[in-house]
């Protein structure tokens, strides 16, 4: 039977828009449906507005630090409402750009919810539409814990639309969102309590990096509560009290839950299309992004694998090229760099020391120092840099950094790791002086060797 569209994409976020735009550029008849906001989580309630809030918090610190360089600057009152209004204007502009990209490529746009009637047919805002191939790119949503009083707190989506900045914030979680908002609220003047189950924040990251971040958070005045959780939230007027599992009570104006995200799959009618979920509620796919139905695909956070915007975008691009182009470009998903815009930020690419040591002996190089700027400002702020090197081959397996401009620096080094750079390649590279980045090519003294016992086995 003839289909109305060659490709129908459910979801107008980073993955869906890129897939639809590239497929339309290849000449396919493409439609994309989005029920909430174009650009998805990243543009509207994720990466972009979060980075704007991080930058807003940095200005207060810079105003204080300027005295160390002879500037007579008085730090005034921060206008939260003005910041949110400026953020909303920029987000509105970017969301419009996503629509324009699809429209310019010749894709058909639907502002509405799409649900499966059967494996080739969708209901889109009450209209029945058929498509030869269908892509599910509906992203994820933040979780709220199943505890008494959970409704008294917020999740990350709401944090971008608060009418005023709270003076006291209790944040539950130790991941990206939790540590980033701890720095944001603290930098804007709030008292912050950060509560997390693990001994250190950012489970899965390199141990040295995790320890350095915990130290940095404490140095800026964030109160840390490791090894515990919130078991109940109570309200007394506008005041919230978080009761912790260790018996501590934390009073706050705002309780913020940042305990993770889950795929957006509810109400899609997946059973009507024969698309199954795994035990975590994600859509399992094969190496070519196919679900159990060979003509239905899933990309981005709805698959709950590498939940990063650039990965979702790359998956969408590769799928469109595979289906309608000359073939997918080669993306390197094994060494995906990532950054956490904490205060200070951190970034990493490749293996953590613990992961690398499981494979065999590795050499560890670490540099820790006070950035030149803060020798004058007096701010308690350090930079940590770390290289994880395979001992037999001398190939650099991991690059890790906590410190100012970490994301910008590690992005460049990710290219080197993708090309298989060795420690010798780093050593023979001339540094740019004076910069923090030059430390990565001047580390000569080995800190330790790890994984030797594993190799002996």
Element (H, E) at 348: strand 346-350
**What's the gap between Cα 42 and its chain centre?**
9
Q: Are 252 and 271 in contact (CB under 8 A)?
A: no
Q: Which two tokens stand for residue 399?
A: 């690059």
Nearest one of 117, 122, 118 to 32, comparing CA atoms: 122
If you write DSSP's letter for every residue of 9-56 in order, what string do you get? EE--SHHHHHHHHHHHHTT--EEEEESS-TTHHHHHHSHHHHHHHHHH
Could you say which DSSP state residue 62 is in? H
Question: Nearest CA to 157 among 138, 168, 142?
Answer: 142
Reduced DSSP (H G I as helix, E B as strand, rest coil) percent helix, strand, coil of the chain, to 5: 35, 25, 40
Query: Residues 209, 348: contact at Cβ < 8 Å?
Result: yes
Torsion from C-alpha of 398, 404, 408, 409, nearest 10 degrees = -40
Identify whether the C-beta of residue 264 lies closer than 8 Å to the C-beta of residue 138.
yes
Closest to 167 (Cα-Cα) out of 186, 194, 195: 186
Q: Angle at CA 341, nearest 5°, toward 397 and 300?
A: 70
Catalytic residue flag (residue 374) = no
Task: Tell me which residues are annotated as active site.
Answer: 433
């Amino acid at each position: 039977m003839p289909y109305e569209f060659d490709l129908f994409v459910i979801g107008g976020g980073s993955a869906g828009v890129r897939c639809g735009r590239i497929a339309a550029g290849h000449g396919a008849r493409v439609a994309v449906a989005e029920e909430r906001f174009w650009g998805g989580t990243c543009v509207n309630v994720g990466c972009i507005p979060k980075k704007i809030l991080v930058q807003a918090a940095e200005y207060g610190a810079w105003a204080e630090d300027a005295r160390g360089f002879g500037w007579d600057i008085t730090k005034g009152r921060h206008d939260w409402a003005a910041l949110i209004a400026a953020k909303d204007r920029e987000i509105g502009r970017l969301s419009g750009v996503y629509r324009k990209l699809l429209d310019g490529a010749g894709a058909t746009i639907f502002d509405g919810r799409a649900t499966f009637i059967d494996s080739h047919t969708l209901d889109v805002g009450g209209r029945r539409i058929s498509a030869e191939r269908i892509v599910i790119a509906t992203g994820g949503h933040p979780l709220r814990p199943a505890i008494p009083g959970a409704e008294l707190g917020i999740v990350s989506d709401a944090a971008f639309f608060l009418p005023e900045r709270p003076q006291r914030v209790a944040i539950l979680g130790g991941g990206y969102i939790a540590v980033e908002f701890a720095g944001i609220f603290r930098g804007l003047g709030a008292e912050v309590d950060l509560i997390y189950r693990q001994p250190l924040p950012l489970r899965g990251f390199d141990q040295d990096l995790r320890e350095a971040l915990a130290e940095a958070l404490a140095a800026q005045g964030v109160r840390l509560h490791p090894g515990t959780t919130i078991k109940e939230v109570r309200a007394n007027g506008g005041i919230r009290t978080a009761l912790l599992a260790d018996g501590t009570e934390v009073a706050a104006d705002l309780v913020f839950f940042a305990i993770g995200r889950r795929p957006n799959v509810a109400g899609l009618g997946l059973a009507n299309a024969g698309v199954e979920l795994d035990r975590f509620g994600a859509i399992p796919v094969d190496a070519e992004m196919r679900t159990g139905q060979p003509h239905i695909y899933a990309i981005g956070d709805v698959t709950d694998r590498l939940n990063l915007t650039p990965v979702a975008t790359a998956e969408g691009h590769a799928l469109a090229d595979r289906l309608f182009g000359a073939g997918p470009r080669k993306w390197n998903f094994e060494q995906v760099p990532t950054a956490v815009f904490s205060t200070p930020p951190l970034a990493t690419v490749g293996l953590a020391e613990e992961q690398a040591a499981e494979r065999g002996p590795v050499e560890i190089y670490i540099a820790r120092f006070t950035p030149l700027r803060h020798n004058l400002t007096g701010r308690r702020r350090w930079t940590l840099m770390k290289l994880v090197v395979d001992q037999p081959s001398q190939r650099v397996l991991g690059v890790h950094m906590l410190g100012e401009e970490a994301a910008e620096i590690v992005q460049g080094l990710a290219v080197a790791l993708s090309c298989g750079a060795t420690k010798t390649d780093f050593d023979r590279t001339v540094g740019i002086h004076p910069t923090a980045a030059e430390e990565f090519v001047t580390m000569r003294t080995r800190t330790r060797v790890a994984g030797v016992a594993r190799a002996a086995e």
